[in-house]
Amino acid sequence: MRNLLLWLITLMVLAAVNFLIFHKELVLKDGTTMLIKLAPVDPRSLIQGDYMALRYALPAVITDQVRSVGADGQLVVELDPNGVVGFKHVYKPGTPLATGERLLRYRRRGERVRLGAEAFFFQEGQASLYAQARYGELRVTDSGNAVLVGLRDERLKPLGPLAQK
């Protein structure tokens, strides 16, 4: 009986992890590319390795509006021709979106508003490839779920070892 319980728990954990991976893969495959301006933050963690801590500029603009709405929700954004996000307003569920408007999910934790991944990890010794990062490149589903896929410079060019080739 104990072995059966152990196997069931193991199976449930593996199923949950695989479901999360599958969901992220769908976002990467079907999501819309959005670029969000970054605010500078110092990179590197001795325990986790090389990474860039990300702070998006958008939460500084929306914090007061989000504070009155609740802990989690969605923003209505509009993309310029280059895919750069422009904030329109906080989404009210059930309200139809205008042409060109998209949703972007946010989470409020205390006074901080989070838009998604707040760290971008890279191989040791490659920090110089990402030093010019000015935009976070996200893939976003129609419901506003986002996955960070890369960083871009001021001219919106992708950064990293593949971009150097």
User: What tens-digit pLDDT sequence spans the chain (165 residues)?
Assistant: 888 888 999 999 999 999 988 888 888 888 888 888 887 665 555 555 677 888 888 887 787 777 777 678 899 999 999 999 999 988 988 899 999 999 999 888 877 888 878 888 888 788 788 888 899 999 999 999 999 998 999 999 999 887 655
> Which pTM was predicted?
0.75
- Is residue 161 one of the residues assigned to a domain? no
User: In sequence order, what are the residues at sequence separation of 6 or more whose Cβ sits closer than 8 angstroms to the Cβ of residue 35?
Assistant: 82, 83, 84, 85, 135, 136, 137, 138, 152, 156
- Do 48 and 73 share a domain, yes or no? yes
How many domains, in total, are found in the chain? 2
- Do 93 and 115 share a domain, yes or no? yes
Residue 18's domain spans which residues? 1-30
Helices (H), the chain: 2-30, 58-67, 127-130
- Is residue 162 one of the residues assigned to a domain? no
